Structure 1
Amino acid sequence: MKKTLFSLLGSLAVVAGVVSCTTKDQNTIPPVATFGVVHASPDAGNVDVYVGGSLAAQNFAYGSDTGYFAVTPGIYTLQVAPTGTTNFVINTNVTFSPATTYSVFAIDSLSAIKAAVVTDSFTTPSTDSVRVRFFHFSPDAPAVDVAIAGGSTLFSNRTFNDQSTNTSYQSFATLAAGTYNLEVRAAGTSTIVLPVPITLEGGKVYTLYAKGFLTGTGTQALGVGTVVHNQSIQ
């Protein structure tokens, strides 16, 4: 599912209860933090998401994202529960630093569901280029390479949630804009696990992520999710 994740400042959704960003002299606006949530837990069903005790997303479906929220920097409780309940399957603290943008992914199977917090630090590319990164969020899939069919390998030997221990994987690489036939392959082989035809539009920033189960069917089948980051400062 391909969705635009956010428009930064100007059309930000603001979490209820967040205080004004204006300082005492009413002239200086201190840096805020921004974050969005992506539902990548294949068998968790629809969920409600709370941040700092406030409802950030209701009836939030697998493969969806919330859009971005602006908050005062600090430590917040992140809670995720099946829709209409307070049976929290995720109940953890997250830290949002000033002038920093984050994506918070709900990942893994329901029995092991957790939050994967990544920093969205990127430069908007020129209109003939894109910025792209890849995360491996398929719990039962082996290590994979992501390559252009008949061309170069873009991401090598990526394992489940590996960006949590190697933060360099949170960075974005630059590619020429265009239509690609990508292949998710078993790492180090030519065995194609999943073909991924995709159009990457110039001037945009993308996160691609492996989702679903290798052995899954229907909506839980192995696939690639796409988040499009469009930055617009007004």
Structure 2
Amino acid sequence: MTASLVLAGFGFGSVAAQEDATTPRATLRIVHGISGGPEVDVLLNGEVLAEAVPFGTVSEFMPVAPGDYVIQVVPTGQPAEAAIVQADLTVEGARSYIVVALGTPDAPEGRVYEVNLDEMTTGMARGRFINAAPDAGGLDLVVAGGEPLFGDVGYGDASDYIDLPPGTSSLDLRGDDDQVVSPIADVTIEESLAYEMVAVGQVADGSLTMLTLSTAVDPSCSAALGLGGAIEDACVRLTHVAPDSADVDVHVNDVVVAEGLTFATVTEFVMLPSGEAQIFSVTAAGSPIEEALITTDLGLDPGQAYEVLVTGDTEDLQLAITGIDLRPVPAGQARLGVIHASPDAGPVNIRLSDGTAVVEGLDFRGVSEYKAIDEGTYELQLSPAGDDQSVLLTSELQVTASIVYDIVVVGRPESQTLAIVVLTAPVPVQAEAIASPVASPGATPVDASGG
């Protein structure tokens, strides 16, 4: 029997065809929940995406280009014609999908659930419950001895997401009569992860259990950068890009966080207290804070990473701030953004040598949105907005997967000092059940609380 694939869950959208190296990929993982079923292979447009997946197991996340696909689940080693689940599937970039094959060998089904990758509450996780147990009826998921986390979730359905605190708990699956049909011991919840708790198996044969899937969503900057500090702190990197300014010191809440910063150089990340009014002061190197060239309040969100840049002419020095996107990326991709810090270059375009636009019409002190980009070597071409033939600068960029790149345009065209400064930071890969953060060498915690 061949079953159709039902699209379910969070915001499944329309197609976005892959066109160039800056198209973000999606990630896809497979759950084999056909109770009593054989090991299966999963085919995408006839190509093997996962093979020999036994009942009750979950594949790793796999990167998939946006587009339209035919997805098939077949007994291991069998051709596509032997599919027990088959359907058309539309995938959008920068999203994460879980394909669940469920039911019984005589009545197989397939469902696709999209993971909610929205920003999370600091210090919390997000979770929902999926009932893929064909004979269990409506199920509750309950903290052992406590109240339900999720109540009366029907077969094939998914609950709404809720916030979950980190910790380890024993849970119970309860049936329609409030009887425990399967105890689930020691489920551990970690912050910044989205959890899909999937009931699979059958009550009748005693195989009912729960699979706990996790997806890295929104790690705190201290975790993603390996700083090891408090999750509520912010992570800040300082860059001097004011072309006519001498070396500078930077103070936060009267504490020096950077000394003798020269033009076109950058500090390591420092951890700073979050809050709406962190006082940043910039002085000439060695000068007292009372002679500050810039003093301004900057708001820092908990767990967020930032680029803070000294920008402008000597008569128009300002601090510019922009957030760094440290969310996980699919395997084989990186993230690329542009910051315009050249005072007299005017609005600019940056394109790849094949004509793909990275950013168009970016003004001084402007910041582009991030784009996904495939691993590889690229030539960046900087030109005035509206005149791509007048290339002001070309620069080779070696893109490594799992890195976020901030491309900073600095200097002046008229003095032939126009240049590109490349700032990098590691990001997790959405490839495992839990994406492991990569340490940022030399990252330094700093107490700038002013206390």
Pair 35,121 (structure 1): closer, same or farther in 2 beyond 3 Å? same
**Aligned to 1:138, what secondary structure does the other structure show?**
coil
**Separation in 1 of the partners of 2:103 and 2:37?**
9
Note if 1:44 corresponds to 2:32.
Answer: no
CA deviation vs aligned residue, 1:97-124 (integer Å, no higher than 9, x gap):
2332211111110111121011111346
Pair 32,74 (structure 1): closer, same or farther in 2 beyond 3 Å? same
How many residues are paired up?
201
Residue 33 of structure 1, CA deviation:
2.4
Pair 21,226 (structure 1): closer, same or farther in 2 beyond 3 Å? farther
Structure 1 unaligned residues grouped into runs of 5+: 1-17, 23-28, 164-168
Question: If you compute each CA radius of gyration, which structure gives the higher value, 1 or 2?
Answer: 2
Note if 1:82 corresponds to 2:68.
Answer: no
Note if 1:184 corresponds to 2:173.
Answer: yes
Structure 2 residue aligned with 1:194, among 182, 189, 204?
Answer: 182
**Separation in 2 of the partners of 1:154 and 1:176?**
12
Structure 2 residue aligned with 1:216, among 197, 201, 205?
Answer: 205
Contact 2:95–2:117, Cα closer than 8 Å, also in 1 = no
**Separation in 2 of the partners of 1:222 and 1:208?**
13
Higher relative CO (CA 8 A, sep ≥ 6), structure 1 or 2?
A: 1
Which AA in structure 2 matches 1:30?
T
Contact 1:124–1:205, Cα closer than 8 Å, also in 2 = no
CA deviation vs aligned residue, 1:2-54 (integer Å, no higher than 9, x gap):
xxxxxxxxxxxxxxxx97841xxxxxx12322211111112111111101111
Q: Map 1:80-229 to 2 at 5 A.
A: 80-86=73-79, 87-123=82-118, 125=120, 128-163=123-158, 169=159, 171-187=160-176, 189-203=177-191, 204-217=193-206, 221-229=207-215
Which AA in structure 2 matches 1:56?
L
Contact 2:130–2:197, Cα closer than 8 Å, also in 1 = yes
**Separation in 1 of the partners of 2:20 and 2:39?**
32
**Separation in 2 of the partners of 1:122 and 1:114?**
25
Q: Map 1:49-88 to 2 at 5 A.
A: 49-86=42-79, 87-88=82-83
CA deviation vs aligned residue, 1:59-110 (integer Å, no higher than 9, x gap):
1111222222222222111111111112111121111123322111111101
**Separation in 2 of the partners of 1:200 and 1:96?**
30
TM-score by length of 1: 0.77
Residue 125 of structure 1, CA deviation:
4.7
Which AA in structure 2 matches 1:133?
R
**Aligned to 2:106, what secondary structure does the other structure show?**
helix
TM-score by length of 2: 0.42
Aligned to 2:293: none
Residue 152 of structure 1, CA deviation:
2.3
Contact 1:81–1:88, Cα closer than 8 Å, also in 2 = yes
For structure 1, which segment, 29-38 or 154-163, has the greater mean C-alpha deviation from structure 2 after superposition? 29-38
Structure 2 unaligned residues grouped into runs of 5+: 1-16, 218-327, 330-401, 403-451
**Separation in 1 of the partners of 2:182 and 2:26?**
36
Which AA in structure 2 matches 1:134?
F
Contact 1:21–1:72, Cα closer than 8 Å, also in 2 = no
